[in-house]
């Protein structure tokens, strides 16, 4: 293919560049994805116009990365990044170019890019392809290859190793042998890279169609032990009995299943980390079977530490850790209604779906066989019927509040909270009690 079909929006933008005597090329991921016949998320443009000039050409331009020659044009409700042709200066620390200088041609600009598949441009508005590093051939072969010598390019920016593995998971491509060898020979190049950049790539791996592709490459290249040692320690931890696989393979299968089903980030992360407490709790019982009592608590603790280290937000951490801690729930129909209500109160009604999704992923990963559709169905039905009878799970659902109690003569103060919580416990045991009269009566008996 020598040309791509250029969307009308980009033609309009190109005509504005042209009216100022400047060129514009679609570059990077958008061209790669169009050539693969995939939807592309966002457009990146490369141009010979310097940022200050672009800011004068369009009414709404945000200087998003002006130090690196990047601005974002807001045009007809779209955001389009435009980067001035550049070559990166000398890299001093394997993290970021020490300086950026502008390049004269698109070919020069493409030569600073990481992989051949990302170093293809399409001239606007016509769509003629510029492909000096034979990226198209690599896309056809599904190969990720560095522009230039892999070892040199990884030395410039250690994040490129993880980017390569991220693309492998996203696109289903393989690493070229030279690139793989360069990462294997020097995985520590990732160490000086900022945690924020590592997290962004790790997030994209988790969001990809098959996270295990990158994670297995990471294990092979020893990036896993550097970035996620808790997970790498799960290799070889056998759990024969219920399981077919060791803990690491089980975790990868669970995460892939969650991705395959389109579950959210928290469920995918929980699927990957739910058993990382197993190496630390493994004990051989007297029948020769490994047990992992309390592993869900250790897994939750380790997951919290690991996600904090990667600077996940408090909300992301709380949601994932909660799922990990609760993943061992069980149910039999001998449960009384109050036991079911206590379970819902502990897990939170809003998290039930995620927890059951996690159970499906966990269950799949024990054998590699799709679990039956009825998995947990009896428990879910039971929860629905118990919820129908009563939804009092938190203080706000109680038929009385603190004011009511004070009005009824119960002394204000710390004691009041204890009374309210005890009333809630009583209502969880017996929802019939959840009316004003009965609750005030009980409260009076207590004080
Ligand atoms: P996506 O946006 O779908 O994740 P992308 O290829 O657009 O994929 P970006 O991270 O948005 O990836 O980067 C845009 C382009 O900038 C890349 O295609 C590549 O050409 C170049 N690029 C990005 N990061 C680097 C890097 N660390 N080293 C060299 N070139 C890079
Ligand atoms: Mg992009």
What pLDDT does residue 105 have?
Answer: 94
Distance of alpha carbon 160 from alpha carbon 166, whole angstroms: 10
The region of weakest confidence among 44-58, 166-180, 240-254 is 240-254
Q: Answer yes or no: is pLDDT of 15 > 90.
A: yes
Mean pLDDT of 327-352: 93
3-state secondary structure of 62: strand
What pLDDT does residue 91 have?
Answer: 59
- Say how many Å lie between the CA of residue 58 and the centre of ligand 2: 21
Mean pLDDT of 246-275: 98
Residue that wins the pLDDT comparison between 404 and 393: 404
What pLDDT does residue 92 have?
Answer: 58
The DSSP 8-state label assigned to residue 5 in this structure reads: P
Residue that wins the pLDDT comparison between 96 and 329: 329
Q: Is the CB of 304 under 6 A from ligand 1?
A: no
What pLDDT does residue 100 have?
Answer: 73
Burial class (CB in 10 A: 0-12, 13-18, 19+), 76: exposed
Phi, psi of 47 (to 5 degrees): -145, 155
- Say how many Å lie between the CA of residue 121 and the centre of ligand 1: 13
Mean pLDDT of 248-273: 98
Q: Is the CB of 44 under 6 A from ligand 1?
A: yes
Q: Which pLDDT band, with edges at 50, 70 and 90, does 96 fall under?
A: low
Residue pLDDT, tens place only, 25-58: 999 999 999 999 998 878 999 999 999 999 999 9
DSSP for 245-259?
Answer: S-HHHHHHHHHHHHH
Residue that wins the pLDDT comparison between 441 and 98: 441
User: Which atom of ligand 1 lies nearest, measured to the CA of 28?
Assistant: 18
Report the residue among 29, 32, 146, 166 best suited for mutation to probe ligand 1: largest number of ligand atoms under 8 A from its CB. Answer: 29
- Say how many Å lie between the CA of residue 339 and the centre of ligand 2: 49
Distance of alpha carbon 342 from alpha carbon 234, whole angstroms: 33
- Say how many Å lie between the CA of residue 71 and the centre of ligand 1: 15
* Secondary structure E strands in 213-363: 283-284, 290-291
What pLDDT does residue 39 have?
Answer: 87
User: Which atom of ligand 1 lies nearest, measured to the CA of 163?
Assistant: 27
The DSSP 8-state label assigned to residue 388 in this structure reads: H
Distance of alpha carbon 301 from alpha carbon 324, whole angstroms: 9
**Hey, whose CA ends up nearest to atom 28 of ligand 1?**
114
386, 389, 394, 395: CA torsion to nearest 10: -160
Q: Answer yes or no: is pLDDT of 90 > 60.
A: no
Q: Which pLDDT band, with edges at 50, 70 and 90, does 389 fall under?
A: confident
Ordered structural domains, the chain, with CATH:
8-134 (3.30.460.10), 142-227 (1.10.110.30), 245-389 (1.10.3210), 395-445 (no CATH)
Q: What is the mean pLDDT of the chain?
A: 93
Cβ contact 160:114 at 8 Å: yes
Cβ neighbours for 416, distance < 8 A, ≥ 6 positions apart: 402, 405, 406, 410
Mean pLDDT of 376-399: 89
Q: Answer yes or no: is pLDDT of 242 > 90.
A: no
What pLDDT does residue 289 have?
Answer: 85
Q: How far is CA 165 from CA 34, 111, 138, in A?
A: 21, 21, 16
Cβ neighbours for 442, distance < 8 A, ≥ 6 positions apart: 423, 426, 433
**Hey, whose CA ends up nearest to atom 21 of ligand 1?**
113
**Hey, whose CA ends up nearest to atom 5 of ligand 1?**
29
Mean pLDDT of 221-247: 92
- Say how many Å lie between the CA of residue 141 and the centre of ligand 1: 20
Phi, psi of 368 (to 5 degrees): 80, 15
Two tokens, residue 302: 């380790």
Mean pLDDT of 154-173: 97
**b (16+ CB within 10 A) / e for 119-153:** bbbbbbbebebbbebebbebbeeebbbbbeebbeb
Residue pLDDT, tens place only, 200-218: 999 999 999 999 999 999 9
Q: Which pLDDT band, with edges at 50, 70 and 90, does 241 fall under?
A: confident
Q: Is the CB of 156 under 6 A from ligand 1?
A: no
Report the residue among 113, 147, 150 best suited for mutation to probe ligand 1: largest number of ligand atoms under 8 A from its CB. Answer: 113
Cβ contact 206:198 at 8 Å: no
Burial class (CB in 10 A: 0-12, 13-18, 19+), 297: middle
User: Which atom of ligand 1 lies nearest, measured to the CA of 88?
Assistant: 29
- Say how many Å lie between the CA of residue 382 and the centre of ligand 1: 49
Distance of alpha carbon 28 from alpha carbon 31, whole angstroms: 6
**Hey, whose CA ends up nearest to atom 3 of ligand 1?**
29
Report the residue among 118, 189, 196 best suited for mutation to probe ligand 1: largest number of ligand atoms under 8 A from its CB. Answer: 118
Cβ neighbours for 441, distance < 8 A, ≥ 6 positions apart: none
Distance of alpha carbon 254 from alpha carbon 180, whole angstroms: 26
Two tokens, residue 93: 């620390």
Q: How far is CA 324 from CA 257, 259, 281, 339, in A?
A: 16, 17, 15, 21
High-pLDDT (> 90) share of the chain, %: 81
Two tokens, residue 122: 């399409």
Q: Which pLDDT band, with edges at 50, 70 and 90, does 99 fall under?
A: low
3-state secondary structure of 65: strand
Distance of alpha carbon 333 from alpha carbon 317, whole angstroms: 33
What pLDDT does residue 431 have?
Answer: 87
Mean pLDDT of 49-73: 94
Query: Torsion-angle region of residue 368: left (phi > 0), alpha (psi -120 to 50) or beta?
Result: left
**Hey, whose CA ends up nearest to atom 8 of ligand 1?**
29
ω into residue 125 within 30 of 0, thus cis?
yes
**Hey, whose CA ends up nearest to atom 1 of ligand 1?**
29
**Hey, whose CA ends up nearest to atom 22 of ligand 1?**
113
Residue that wins the pLDDT comparison between 87 and 158: 158
What pLDDT does residue 444 have?
Answer: 87
């Amino acid at each position: 293919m020598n040309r791509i079909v250029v969307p009308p929006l980009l033609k309009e933008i190109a005509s504005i560049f042209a009216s100022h005597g400047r060129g514009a090329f679609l570059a990077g991921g958008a061209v790669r994805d169009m050539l693969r016949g995939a939807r592309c998320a966002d457009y990146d443009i490369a141009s010979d116009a310097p940022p200050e000039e672009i800011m004068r050409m369009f009414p709404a331009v945000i200087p998003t990365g002006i130090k690196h020659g990047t601005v974002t044009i807001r045009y007809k409700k779209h955001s389009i990044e435009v980067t001035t042709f550049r070559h990166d200066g000398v890299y001093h620390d394997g993290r970021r170019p020490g300086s950026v200088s502008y390049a004269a041609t698109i070919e020069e600009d493409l030569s600073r890019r990481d992989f051949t598949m990302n170093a293809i441009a399409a001239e606007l508005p016509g769509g003629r392809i510029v492909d000096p590093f034979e990226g198209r051939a690599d896309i056809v072969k599904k190969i990720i290859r560095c522009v230039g010598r892999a070892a040199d390019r990884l030395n410039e920016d250690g994040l490129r190793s993880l980017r390569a593995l991220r693309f492998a998971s996203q696109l289903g491509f393989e690493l070229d042998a030279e690139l793989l060898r360069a990462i294997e020979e020097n995985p520590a190049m990732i160490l000086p890279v900022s945690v924020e950049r590592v997290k962004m790539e790790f997030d994209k791996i988790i969001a990809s169609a098959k996270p295990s592709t990158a994670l297995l490459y990471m294990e092979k290249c020893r990036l896993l032990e550097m970035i996620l040692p808790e997970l790498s320690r799960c290799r070889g931890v056998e759990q024969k009995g219920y399981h077919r696989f060791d803990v690491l393979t089980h975790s990868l299968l669970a995460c892939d299943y969650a991705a395959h089903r389109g579950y959210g980030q928290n469920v995918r992360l929980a699927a990957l980390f739910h058993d990382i407490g197993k190496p630390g709790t493994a004990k051989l019982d007297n029948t020769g079977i490994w047990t992992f009592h309390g592993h869900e608590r250790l897994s939750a603790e380790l997951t919290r530490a690991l996600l904090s280290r990667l600077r996940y937000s408090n909300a992301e951490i709380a949601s994932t850790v909660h799922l990990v801690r609760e993943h061992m729930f069980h149910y039999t129909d001998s449960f009384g209604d109050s036991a079911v209500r206590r379970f819902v109160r502990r897990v939170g009604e809003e998290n039930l779906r995620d927890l059951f999704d996690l159970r499906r992923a966990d269950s799949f990963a024990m054998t590699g066989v799709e679990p039956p559709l009825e998995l947990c169905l009896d428990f879910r039905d039971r929860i629905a019927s118990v919820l129908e009878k009563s939804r009092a799970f938190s203080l706000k659902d109680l038929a009385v509040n603190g004011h009511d109690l004070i009005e009824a003569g119960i002394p204000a103060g710390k004691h009041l909270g204890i009374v309210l919580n005890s009333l809630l416990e009583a209502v969880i045991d017996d929802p019939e009690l959840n009316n004003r009269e009965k609750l005030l009566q009980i409260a009076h008996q207590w004080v």
